A = this chain, B = another copy of it.
Amino acid sequence: MSWIVREDGFRKERITTNSNKFMIGNGYMGYRGTMEEFTKSELTATTLAGLYDKVGDKWREPVNAPNGLFTRIQCDGSVLSVLEAEPLEHEQELDMQHGLHRRKTTFSAKGDNRVTVLSERFCSAERLHLIVNRITIHCSKDCELLITTGIDGDVWDINGPHLERMVGQVEDNCLVMKGWTHELNQPVSVVEAIECNFGEKTIITEEQSIYRQIVVQYRAGEKYTFTKYVSVYTGMDEVENISLAAVQSSLEALRVGYAQLFLEQAVIWNRKWEMSDVTIEGDKEAQHALRYSMYQLHIIAPEQSEKVSIPARGLSGQVYKGAVFWDTEMFMLPFFLYTQPEVARNLMMYRVHTLDGARRKAAEYGFEGAFYAWESQETGDDACTLFNVNDVFTGRPMRTYFRDKQVHISADVVHGIWQYYTFTGDESILLDGGAEVIWECAKFFYSYAYYNSRKERYEVLDVTGPDEYHERVNNNAFTNMLVKQTLFVTIEVMKYLQNKNPERYEIILSKEQDGITLEQISHMYDHLYVPQPDQDNKLISQFDGYFKLEDVSLTELKSRIMNKNEYLGGGNGLATTTQILKQADVILMLHLFKDRFDQETKQANWKFYEPRTEHGSSLSSCIYALVASDIGSPDWAYPYFMRTATIDLTGESKQYVGDLYIGGTHPAANGGAWMAAVLGFAGLRYQGDDVIISPALPEKWTAIEFPLCVRGQSYKVCVSKEEVHITSHINNTNTMLFTICGQSITVPGGQEITAPYNCIIQT
């Protein structure tokens, strides 16, 4: 059952949570796990990747397409809906193995009639524009059914409505609903073709919707099945006539039929899991949660486009403006990098394509180079506003500095590209624009940093680090460390380019009007201040003056809260004057640069910062898990791992900041769960030389097995408490050096080796 996510019974208060939990998607679009009879008040949404719209001065956000999966069934005049009356039975489940959503409800209808509705749907992984939905109805008594099914264009929007001039019509026996976005006049078409060999059909057209009504004289005991083939096209797709393309897509699907379409789906999903699935022995709960985390990543991965990346709430709606944050590089990228490097490449190429937006942002603030958007949409311009949260006490918008001061984003992008390049050895990423991104980010930091003449060093001032409760600080250790890495990478890449592609090298440098030179970058690299561990207690100050802040316990801080939704950061937030942090900050640095700090330093800082972390971000727990594993304390890590891996299963995450709804799925935590398991407990890492495995398994795990794709070679790695077993794929041509608990082992292509060890830190 570890492939199935399931809930029995229906509870109204779980609608929002379960619609996130039971999402399906294919990277092109996400479809929330709502019931067929739901409308916008239950937050139905078909969220489109990369298509954004802005209405008036409201926030710019992704567009939800008209809902092609709307179906309402009436039996002898009464509506069968979980919203109307408590169903006799209800179950909702997700078949993660195939990306399939299933819902089965038994309603009580007139005259003791038991009506069971089974609905199955999937976003086709083979045909990205297509959603397929098959509905089967079974009644215990003779009755008259009235089925209303079609396209509901009156969709949920946070800052909409986004589609205007909506037109519904019928073409080639398909329902077509088309509208245009406000801001850019982009068309969106949704088309439904239906396979339904029963009943009398009538077309109903409403202002924003188009339906078929199907009237059926039902005979007890029979099964009635119909299938909807819904296609979505937008102006972003490179087709001439999007409605025509959608009609063709739906008619083609109709022709192919449900069974064959599902087979295609199964083949692709099988491949996804083959490349990524992790099995855990000895812990079914962890196994289930980890697999679910990977499922969430698979349904939103932009497998076929390098123009979009993954938003912070995936494709679960319009929360956070559907924007791409640092979450992608720091929390999601590793999963793809180690399992599906081509997706990782797409994610990084998105940054190349949005370089101009980052250049505009830098220029807007008076800096050189590229200052990447804190909240990036399709152009790379920053969707982040200066006022992000409302003060719960006054209702006034609060000035926050996410947009202005989280400069680490440019370093995160460079880190991502460098990770990709190091891991895959794929030089094309540099030549296809990556080198330029890196150079522009270095220039940005050179123009952002200041030189302290007194201390003879560069400093990075007035920034916000990952811990957003402390805005506008100086010399945030994490930020400075990443800036230093950016400069290092820049020097390396420019050296590489000068050798490998002197023309490109000259082109990049010749573009410089501002005259920042590689010598200046080098000088800054040599003299950039990065806060170091204290000689005595080994603690690293999160930023200048951090240790002078009030040292209050989290319990005490929480007792000061007057309104449960009050924001702890911002102007007067309760945490801002204390040592309480929102999320891993120094600890994240210790994870990213684990080789540069000794165990004592990592341990001291973990112990210091852990009780001071409020985990107000879903990005926090996995990092504490990772570093706990690294310092040989997997059982400190385990609760953090589980908290991360179950976040979208339980739905127990922060839903509001101020009066701002921030619910939805959490792909960064999903990625974090994978990291905690594979990079943390299994202790895997690769930085261009050997594959290192330093396991620290939780007590009840007897083994963990996972695939690995590195430098074009595929492996299966199984880490148990006694040994590491490595299978080099039969097609591998290269030999790879593995270092297992410090011992080097060469694994030739196509062979298997077993490396027993004694030195694993047991718990």
Given contacts A393-B393, A453-B520, A454-B516, 12 further A-B contacts (CB under 8 A): A396-B560, A396-B572, A396-B574, A398-B572, A399-B576, A447-B454, A450-B453, A450-B461, A451-B451, A461-B461, A472-B472, A571-B571
Cross-chain contact A450 with B447 (CB below 8 angstroms): no
Cross-chain contact A452 with B450 (CB below 8 angstroms): yes
A387, A446, A472, A571, most chain B CB atoms within 10 A:
A571
Secondary structure class of chain A's binding surface, majority of residues: loop
Question: Which chain A residues in 490-518 approach chain B with CB under 8 Å?
Answer: 516
Cross-chain contact A446 with B454 (CB below 8 angstroms): yes
Question: Which chain A residues in 182-221 approach chain B with CB under 8 Å?
Answer: none
Per-residue contact bits, chain A 474-494, to B (CB 8 Å; 1 contact, 0 not): 100000000000000000000
Please measure, in the bound complex, the distance between the C-alpha atom of A275 and the C-alpha atom of B275, giving whole angstroms.
Answer: 93
Determine if A562 is an interface residue (Cβ-Cβ < 8 Å).
yes
Given contacts A462-B461, A571-B572, contact A394 B562 (CB under 8 A): yes
Cross-chain contact B454 with A453 (CB below 8 angstroms): no
Question: Which chain A residues in 36-87 approach chain B with CB under 8 Å?
Answer: none
User: Separation in Å of the A151 CB from the closest CB of chain B?
Assistant: 43
User: Separation in Å of the A405 CB from the closest CB of chain B?
Assistant: 11
Chain B residues, Cβ within 8 Å of A467: none
Cross-chain contact A454 with B368 (CB below 8 angstroms): yes
Cross-chain contact A399 with B461 (CB below 8 angstroms): no
User: Separation in Å of the A83 CB from the closest CB of chain B?
Assistant: 39
Determine if A603 is an interface residue (Cβ-Cβ < 8 Å).
no
Please measure, in the bound complex, the distance between the C-alpha atom of A405 and the C-alpha atom of B676, giving whole angstroms.
Answer: 42
Which chain B residue lies CB-closest to A577? B399
Please measure, in the bound complex, the distance between the C-alpha atom of A453 and the C-alpha atom of B443, giving whole angstroms.
Answer: 12
Given contacts A391-B572, A393-B393, A572-B399, contact A450 B446 (CB under 8 A): no
Please measure, in the bound complex, the distance between the C-alpha atom of A459 and the C-alpha atom of B447, giving whole angstroms.
Answer: 13
Chain B residues, Cβ within 8 Å of A520: 453
Determine if A698 is an interface residue (Cβ-Cβ < 8 Å).
no
Which chain B residue lies CB-closest to A391? B572
Cross-chain contact A453 with B451 (CB below 8 angstroms): yes
User: Separation in Å of the A333 CB from the closest CB of chain B?
Assistant: 31
Per-residue contact bits, chain A 431-464, to B (CB 8 Å; 1 contact, 0 not): 0000000000000001101111110001101100
Please measure, in the bound complex, the distance between the C-alpha atom of A516 and the C-alpha atom of B453, giving whole angstroms.
Answer: 10
Chain B residues, Cβ within 8 Å of A577: 386-387, 399
Chain B residues, Cβ within 8 Å of A663: none
Per-residue contact bits, chain A 390-406, to B (CB 8 Å; 1 contact, 0 not): 01011010110000000
Given contacts A396-B572, A399-B572, contact A459 B450 (CB under 8 A): yes
Please measure, in the bound complex, the distance between the C-alpha atom of A462 and the C-alpha atom of B459, giving whole angstroms.
Answer: 14
Determine if A570 is an interface residue (Cβ-Cβ < 8 Å).
yes
Cross-chain contact B453 with A446 (CB below 8 angstroms): yes
Which A residues have a C-beta under 8 Å from some C-beta of B?
368, 386-387, 391, 393-394, 396, 398-399, 446-447, 449-454, 458-459, 461-462, 472, 474, 516, 520, 524, 560, 562, 570-574, 576-577
Please measure, in the bound complex, the distance between the C-alpha atom of A533 and the C-alpha atom of B27, giving whole angstroms.
Answer: 53
How many copies the complex holds: the figure is: 2
Which chain B residue lies CB-closest to A573? B571
Please measure, in the bound complex, the distance between the C-alpha atom of A446 and the C-alpha atom of B570, giving whole angstroms.
Answer: 31
Which chain B residue lies CB-closest to A399? B577
A447, A524, A577, most chain B CB atoms within 10 A:
A577
Closest 10 CB pairs of A and B: A571-B571, A450-B450, A571-B572, A451-B451, A393-B393, A447-B454, A399-B577, A451-B453, A572-B572, A398-B572
Chain B residues, Cβ within 8 Å of A394: 393, 562, 572
Chain B residues, Cβ within 8 Å of A524: 453
Chain B residues, Cβ within 8 Å of A452: 450-451
User: Separation in Å of the A495 CB from the closest CB of chain B?
Assistant: 22
User: Separation in Å of the A57 CB from the closest CB of chain B?
Assistant: 13
Chain B residues, Cβ within 8 Å of A560: 396
Which chain B residue lies CB-closest to A571? B571
Please measure, in the bound complex, the distance between the C-alpha atom of A574 and the C-alpha atom of B520, giving whole angstroms.
Answer: 42
A399, A570, A572, most chain B CB atoms within 10 A:
A572
User: Separation in Å of the A695 CB from the closest CB of chain B?
Assistant: 43
Chain B residues, Cβ within 8 Å of A453: 446, 449-451, 458, 520, 524
Partner of A450, one of B398, B451, B516, B573: B451
Chain B residues, Cβ within 8 Å of A454: 368, 446-447, 516
Which chain B residue lies CB-closest to A474? B462
Chain B residues, Cβ within 8 Å of A472: 472
Which chain B residue lies CB-closest to A404? B545
Please measure, in the bound complex, the distance between the C-alpha atom of A562 and the C-alpha atom of B394, giving whole angstroms.
Answer: 8
User: Separation in Å of the A447 CB from the closest CB of chain B?
Assistant: 5
A-B contact pairs, 30 of them (CB 8 A): A368-B454, A391-B572, A393-B394, A394-B562, A394-B572, A396-B572, A399-B572, A446-B453, A447-B454, A450-B450, A450-B451, A450-B452, A450-B459, A450-B461, A451-B451, A451-B452, A453-B458, A453-B520, A453-B524, A461-B461, A461-B462, A462-B462, A462-B474, A570-B571, A570-B572, A571-B571, A571-B572, A571-B573, A571-B576, A572-B572
Which chain B residue lies CB-closest to A520? B453
Please measure, in the bound complex, the distance between the C-alpha atom of A572 and the C-alpha atom of B520, giving whole angstroms.
Answer: 39
Chain B residues, Cβ within 8 Å of A368: 454
User: Separation in Å of the A472 CB from the closest CB of chain B?
Assistant: 7
Which chain B residue lies CB-closest to A453? B451
Which chain B residue lies CB-closest to A516? B454
User: Separation in Å of the A418 CB from the closest CB of chain B?
Assistant: 24
User: Separation in Å of the A545 CB from the closest CB of chain B?
Assistant: 9
User: Separation in Å of the A11 CB from the closest CB of chain B?
Assistant: 36
User: Separation in Å of the A58 CB from the closest CB of chain B?
Assistant: 18
Please measure, in the bound complex, the distance between the C-alpha atom of A571 and the C-alpha atom of B451, giving whole angstroms.
Answer: 28
Please measure, in the bound complex, the distance between the C-alpha atom of A574 and the C-alpha atom of B474, giving whole angstroms.
Answer: 25
Chain B residues, Cβ within 8 Å of A386: 577
Please measure, in the bound complex, the distance between the C-alpha atom of A472 and the C-alpha atom of B461, giving whole angstroms.
Answer: 12
A391, A453, A577, most chain B CB atoms within 10 A:
A453
Please measure, in the bound complex, the distance between the C-alpha atom of A338 and the C-alpha atom of B461, giving whole angstroms.
Answer: 43
Chain B residues, Cβ within 8 Å of A459: 450
Please measure, in the bound complex, the distance between the C-alpha atom of A562 and the C-alpha atom of B451, giving whole angstroms.
Answer: 43
Which chain B residue lies CB-closest to A447? B454
Please measure, in the bound complex, the distance between the C-alpha atom of A311 and the C-alpha atom of B572, giving whole angstroms.
Answer: 29
Which chain B residue lies CB-closest to A448? B454
Chain B residues, Cβ within 8 Å of A396: 560, 572, 574
Please measure, in the bound complex, the distance between the C-alpha atom of A571 and the C-alpha atom of B524, giving whole angstroms.
Answer: 34
Please measure, in the bound complex, the distance between the C-alpha atom of A474 and the C-alpha atom of B448, giving whole angstroms.
Answer: 13
Please measure, in the bound complex, the distance between the C-alpha atom of A386 and the C-alpha atom of B576, giving whole angstroms.
Answer: 13
Which chain B residue lies CB-closest to A544? B366
Please measure, in the bound complex, the distance between the C-alpha atom of A451 and the C-alpha atom of B453, giving whole angstroms.
Answer: 7
